[in-house]
Structure 1
Amino acid sequence: MKLFISGLFLVLLATGAWGQTPYNAETTYRKLVRDYPFIRIAGSEAPASVQVRKDLVYLQHPGIALGLDLYLPQPGAKPGAKPAPLVILVHGGGWASGDRTGMAPLAARLAARGFAAATVSYRLSGQARYPAAITDVRESVRWLRDNAAGFGIDPARVAISGASAGGQIASLAGMLEPQAIRAVINIDGLSDFTTEEARRHEDDPNKKPSAAGAWFGGRYSEKEASWRAASPITHVGKDSPPLLFIISGVPRFSVGREAMAAKLASFGIASDTVALPGSPHSFWLFDPWVEPTVDAMDAFLRRTLRALP
C-alpha cells in the first residue's frame, strides 16, 4: 500500500493534478463550446513536408526528464538551403498543468511555413516552484542552440513564444536572454504580476492558493520580490528583443502589455499587438483562431528574424 500511495503521489506531483481539471484542448473545449458553438479543436498533425522528432530529452533533473518535440522543415528540400530559423514554444496551464502537446498545432503550421519549431516541457508548480520553470526554458534554449547544426537550425535566429502562463514564461526568458533570443511572441500572457489588476485575480484571498501563489510559494505580500522578478516588464532594457503581443478578448490575461510596450519603446525597441476580438482565452487551441495566430507570428518572425524569402 505504501508503494501505491508513493507512486500516486509522484504522478500527482508530476502533473500538478491535485484534483484540478487538466489543462488541454479537450477539457477547454468542453468549457467553451456552449458560448462558442462554432469552435473546433485545431488539428496538430504535421504535413508531409515537416519532419517531427519527438521526446528529445534536453535536461535531466532527479527523477524528471524534460523533453521537447522538434518540428523541422523537410531537410534538403532545396540544394544549398540555409539553416532554418527556430521558434521555441512554451505551453500554458497556470504554471501547474498542461503539457507541450498544447503547442503542437502552432508548431506544425510554423514548420510548414519554413520555421523550425520546438515545443518544450518544463517543471510545473507541483514539481518545483518559481524560478524552476524559467531555468528549464532557458536551458532548452541553450540545448537547442548547442545542437543546432545537427538539426539544420540557425542558432543566430532564435525566437521564443508561449501562451497564457507560457506567454509570461517565454516573455521573461526572452528579456533574460537577449543575446540568444532575437524575438518574443507573448500570446495572452501576463507582463506584470505586480499591478493592481493582475493581483486582483492572481492574489485573490479566496483562492487558497491562486495559480500564481502556488507557483511563487506565497501571496504578493509574502513573496513580493518573486512576483516582481517574474514580471517580464521588470527586465526590459536597451538590449531587449522586439516583442509581439497576440491577445484575446479577455483583457485580464494580458495585463501589463501596454506598460511593457511603452517601456520597450523608451529604449527604441519595437513591439506590436494583434488583437483577436471576441476570442476566448486559449484561442490558440481552436479553429477559427489558429490560422490568424500563425499568420501574425509568421509576419512578425519574417520581419524580426529576416527568416525566409
Structure 2
Amino acid sequence: MPTFLDIPFAAPDGEVLKADLYLPDSVDAPPPVILFLHGGGWRFGDRKLAPDLQRYFASQGFAMASIDYRLSTVAPFPAAVEDVKTGIRWLRSVADQYGVDASQLGIWGSSAGAHLGALAALSGSERFAGDAYAEYSSDVQALVDGYGPTDFLRQDEFRDPDGKPSDDPESIQLPAGKRSTDPDSLESLFIGAPILEVPDQVAQANPISHIRPQNTPFLILHGLSDTAVPWQQSEMLYNALAQAGCNAELVLIEGLGHGFFNRNDLDERGPFHLQYRNTQKPDEVLHQRGCIFPMVAEFFSKTLTAKARLI
C-alpha cells in the first residue's frame, strides 16, 4: 500500500506542519480523499494520534491523509483552523502528484479535531483562510464529527460530576475535574484567554455560530458515557443543523466514552446499542445495534462521489 510520511505542507510563523498519506493499492481511477484530524484538546497530539488509516479506510479504496495543526502551546485560535484549511488546499494542490481526487474530500475529526473540522466546514471560504495555496478551495464534501465540542460556554452545564474518563490515548491526558469555564481549561488555553472574559471571541470559535444552509452532509457520533465532552454538545450541533435545513445524522452510542476512534479494536466489543436520528426524517429516533467503523465507511461511500473502485 503506497504510504508517504512526514511531508511538510506548511510552515506558518516558522512552525513546520507535516502530513501523512496512505493510498489504496489498486484502483481504476483517482480515489476520493478523507482527511483525519487528531484530537488532544488542541493542546497535545499530532497527525500520528489516529486509528490505523491503512485499515480505516485506504484498504477500502479511499486516499487517507492526516495532518498536523498548530497546538495551543504554539499559537491560540484561530491558528489551528487556519492550518486545517491550509491542509485542505494543500491536498488539492498535490492531487495530481499523488493521483487522488481531491475534488471529493471529506473530513473525519476526533474530539478537538472534530471541532476544527466542523468549524472549517461551516465557516465558509472567507473566514480563517490562511495564506498558502490560495488558488485552491477549502470546501469539503462530507464531514464525520466524532464527539467534538460545539458550544464552549455550555459544556459545563451537562457535565456528570461522578463520571470516570475512559482510558483511550486522548482522555487519559485530559485533566480530571476540569471545567471549560476555568481560566486554565483546555478551551481557555485554545482561545488564549479565559472563555468567560471573551464571549465574542468564543462565539467565533464555536462551530454552532457559523451554521447556515449549506450542502456538506454531517455524520455526528458521540458516546453517551463521554466525560470529556458531554454528548449534548453533539445533539446541539445536530439540532442547529436540522433547523438550518442541513443534511445531518446523529448517532449516540451506549457504553462508549471519549476518544473511541483511537481504538483499532473498537468494533471487536460491538455491536453497540445506537440511537440514530436523521434530518431527512426528523420525527424518527431509531434504536438499533451496529458497529462504528463500518458506519463511517458507509457514510463516506455514499457522500463522496467515488470514481475509483478497487481492482
Q: Which bracket does the TM-score occupy, shorter chain normalised?
A: 0.7 to 0.9
Identical-residue share of aligned pairs (%)? 30
Q: Distance in 1 between matches of 2:158 and 2:81?
A: 21
- Please report how far the alpha carbon of residue 290 of structure 1 lies from its aligned counterpart in structure 2 after TM superposition: 5.5
Q: 1:193 aligns with which of 136, 142, 152?
A: 152
Residues in 2 aligned to 1:236 and 1:176: alpha-carbon distance in whole angstroms: 8
Aligned counterpart, 2:275: none
Please list, as runs of the form range in 1=range in 2, the aligned pairs for 1:156-195 lying within 5 A after superposition: 156-177=103-124, 180-195=139-154
Name the CA distance, whole Å, in 2 between partners of 1:63 and 1:287: 34
Q: Using the alignment, how far apart are the partners of 1:82 and 1:91 within structure 2?
A: 28
| CA 1:163–1:127: 2 relative to 1, 3 Å | same
Pairwise CA distance, 1:92? 0.6
Q: Could you state the TM-score of these two structures normalised by the residue count of structure 1?
A: 0.76
Instruction: Give the Cα separation in 1 of the matches to 2:157 and 2:76.
Output: 19
Cα offset, 1:128, TM superposition: 0.3
CA apart distance, 1:220: 2.3
Contact 2:51 2:262 (C-alpha < 8 Å) held by counterparts:
no
Q: Alpha-carbon deviation of 1:105?
A: 1.6
- Matched to 2:211, the amino acid is V
Q: Secondary structure at the match of 1:264?
A: helix
Q: Which has the higher helix share?
A: 1
**1:230 pairs with 2:210:** no
Q: Does 1:282 align with 2:295?
A: no
Separation of aligned partners in 2, 1:69 and 1:107: 11
Is residue 2:242 matched to residue 1:265?
yes
> Who is 2:285 aligned against?
none
Distance 1:160 1:111 in 2: 14
Give CA deviations for 1:195-247 in whole Å, capped at 9, x if unaligned: 25469764343xx5001111111122212122111111111111251101121
Match of 1:239 among 214, 217, 223: 214
Give the letter for the 1:169 counterpart. Answer: L
CA distance in 2, matches of 1:191, 1:203: 12
The residue number in structure 1 matching 2:169 is none
2:11 pairs, out of 49, 57, 60, with 60
Instruction: Quote how far apart the aligned CAs of 1:173 are.
Output: 1.0
The one-letter amino acid paired with 2:47 is R
Aligned residues between the structures: 254
Mapped to 1, the partners of 2:51 and 2:261 lie a distance apart of 10
Tell me: CA distance 1:290–1:263, structure 2 relative to 1, closer, same or farther (3 Å). same
Structure 2 CA distance for partners of 1:235 and 1:143, relative to 1, 3 Å: same
Q: Look up the equivalent residue of 2:109 and give its one-letter code.
A: G
Stretches of structure 2 that go unaligned for 5 or more consecutive residues are 126-136, 160-177, 269-290
Q: Give the C-alpha shift of residue 96 in structure 1.
A: 0.5
Contact 1:168/1:186 (<8 A) preserved? yes
Aligned partners of 1:290 and 1:172: how far apart in 2? 28
Is the CA contact 2:3–2:23 (under 8 Å) kept in the aligned structure 1?
yes
**CA deviation after TM superposition for structure 1 residue 271, in Å:** 0.9
Provide the residue aligned with 1:303 in structure 2.
Answer: 302
Return the alpha-carbon distance in structure 1 between the equivalents of residues 22 and 89 of structure 2: 17
* Residue identity matched to 2:221: I
Per-residue CA deviations over 1:255-307 (Å, capped at 9, x if unaligned) read 43223222222333211123332122121222432673321111111111132
Q: CA deviation at 1:83?
A: 1.2
* Inter-partner Cα distance in structure 1 for 2:24 and 2:98: 10
Q: Which residue does the alignment assign to 2:24?
A: 73
Counting only pairs closer than 5 Å after superposition, residues 4-153 of structure 1 correspond to structure 2 as 50-74=1-25, 77-78=26-27, 81-106=28-53, 108-153=55-100
Q: SS at 1:57's partner residue?
A: strand
Distance 1:230 1:62 in 2: 21
CA distance in 1, matches of 2:113, 2:155: 21
Q: How has the CA–CA distance of structure 1 residues 218 and 255 changed in structure 2, closer, same or farther, with 3 Å as cutoff?
A: farther
Contact 1:104 1:119 in 2 (8 A): no
CA contact (8 A) 2:123 2:210 kept: yes
Going from structure 1 to structure 2, the CA distance change for 1:255 and 1:144 (only over 3 Å counts) comes to: same
Q: CA RMSD in A?
A: 2.2
